[in-house]
Copies of this chain bind each other. A is one copy, B any other.
Amino acid sequence: MIIMKTDATEEDILRVVLLVEESGLRASVIRGEYQTVIGPVGDERRLDFDRVATFPGVKEAARVEAPYKLISREYARFFGEPGAHSRVSIRGVRIGNGDPVIIAGPCAVESRQQIMRIAEEVKRAGAHILRGGIFKPRSSVHAFQGIGSRGLAGAEEALKWLREAGNAFDMPIVTEVRGESMVELVARYADIMHIGARNMYDQDLLADVARMGKPVLLKRHFGASIEELLSFSEYIAAEGNKDLILCERGIVPVGKGKSYTRYMLDLAAVPVIHKETYLPVIVDPSHGTGRQDLIFDMSCASIAAGADGLMIETHYNPAEALVDGPQMVTPGELRDIIEACQALYRMKQTVRRNRHE
């Protein structure tokens, strides 16, 4: 980790980058509001930190031993007020360090009419960001793969519908990208690029998406430890993209017999990630439970655990959705959830301020 002085010039930065690269590493340059930090990516033992420390414009240079560091809490102090978490801002919506942000919409975009209607209804219910899947990663090749699976032309048409719906109701849009060949197409339309749980381990996709320079929403794989999620997040930060939002969406249930939920939400991941990194964390109670009747309670619990937002699948008629019907809420239910979460968030802020320690 190399921290530049606040008055370091572009030339100073370039000089450090060149030395890092000559040493056989890559240099991830993260520009905060006040300072620039250069994170060497790769085997740091090859870099002579003592020499770097003598370069003009360099404030500190030290080796960090961890599977991740560019996303770590230590870096947070270079972005805004010390000790604070970063905020990811997208078209006026800010995720992190403030009111919970609600991402809502259907699992899959099915038609222009469908996404326009849902956008209108989730906006009215209080949602801030519109979601909708074009490419659905599915375990079975024989399952519906999203409208995007019908080829690039179909994918682009669906992306345009989603974009139109976002614009019409003034919501940024988030959609999942799958397959490196689709990255540029999705980047052309989406405000936030979403990498699904099944693709969390796909480091090449992560790097390609990160390079688009747009905010990235990365979901934890359903068999991944928190450390793995953070280690793979580092692949995104290593491309210099710090607009990263993490998402807890449940892990595979343990034990013999029925679990009653599709996955098991690990809500402690929320405060843990907040302690380890400066990144915002949201929760997806729709996939995390797979049950419409648990989403209200688990949304409340997520916000109480400190989540910066929620991603909730919503459809005016869950029974008719092509994918994931049993876990969708209606716009009316969404409004209840949003109101509850906002009230609980404010109460938590109040009680937190009153803590005696």
Nearest first, the 5 closest Cβ-Cβ pairs linking A and B are A223-B223, A225-B255, A179-B204, A304-B304, A227-B257
Q: Are B67 and A142 touching (Cβ within 8 A)?
A: yes
Residues from chain B with a CB closer than 8 A to the CB of A350 are: 343
What residues of chain B lie closer than 8 Å to A174, measured between beta carbons? Answer: none
Contact present for A270 and B297 (CB under 8 Å): yes
Copies of chain A in the complex:
4
Contacts of A222 in B (CB 8 A): 223, 256
Known: A202-B205, A252-B254, A297-B270. A354 touches B339 (CB 8 A): yes
Report the separation of the CA atoms of residues A306 and B205 in the bound assembly, to the nearest whole angstrom.
36
* Given known A-B contacts A180-B181, A336-B355, A225 and B254 have beta carbons under 8 A apart: yes
Which residue of chain B lies nearest to A182 when distances are taken between CB atoms in the complex?
A: B204
A232 to B42 CA separation, bound complex (whole angstroms): 31
How far, in angstroms, from A137 to B178 measured CA to CA in the complex? 18
Q: Are B357 and A332 neighbours in the complex by a CB distance under 8 Å?
A: yes
Q: List 21 A-B contacts (CB under 8 A).
A: A43-B142, A67-B139, A137-B203, A139-B232, A140-B231, A141-B203, A142-B234, A180-B181, A202-B205, A227-B256, A227-B257, A227-B260, A251-B254, A252-B255, A264-B264, A265-B266, A265-B267, A268-B294, A298-B305, A300-B348, A343-B347
A26 (CB) vs chain B CBs: closest residue: B141
Cβ contacts under 8 Å, A252 to chain B: 223, 254-256
A310 to chain B, nearest CB (A): 13
Binary contact readout A29-41 vs B (1 if CB under 8 angstroms, 0 otherwise): 0000000000001
- Of all chain B residues, the one with the shortest Cβ separation from A65 is B142
User: Is B256's CB under 8 angstroms from A276's CB?
Assistant: no
A143 close to B43 (CB less than 8 A)? yes
Residues of A within 8 A of B (CB): 41-44, 67-69, 137-145, 178-181, 198-199, 201-205, 221-228, 231-232, 234-235, 238, 251-261, 264-268, 270-272, 275-276, 288-289, 293-294, 296-298, 300-306, 332-333, 335-336, 339-340, 343-344, 347-348, 350-352, 354-357
- A260 CB contacts on chain B under 8 angstroms: 226-227, 268, 272, 276
CB contact under 8 A between A268 and B265, given known A41-B141, A232-B139, A344-B344: yes
> How far does the alpha carbon of A305 sit from the alpha carbon of B267 in the complex, in Å?
11
Residues of B within 8 A of A142 (CB): 41-44, 67, 69, 234
Give the residue name and chain of the B residue nearest to A260 (CB): B272
Which residues of chain B come closer than 8 Å to A332, judged between CB atoms? 356-357
Q: Knowing A199-B202, A271-B297, say if A257 contacts B336 (CB, 8 Å).
A: no
Which of B143, B180, B256, B351 contacts A204 (CB under 8 A)? B180
Of A137, A144, A354, A355, chain B has the most CB atoms within 10 Å of the CB of A355
A261 vs B272: C-alpha distance in the bound complex, in angstroms?
8
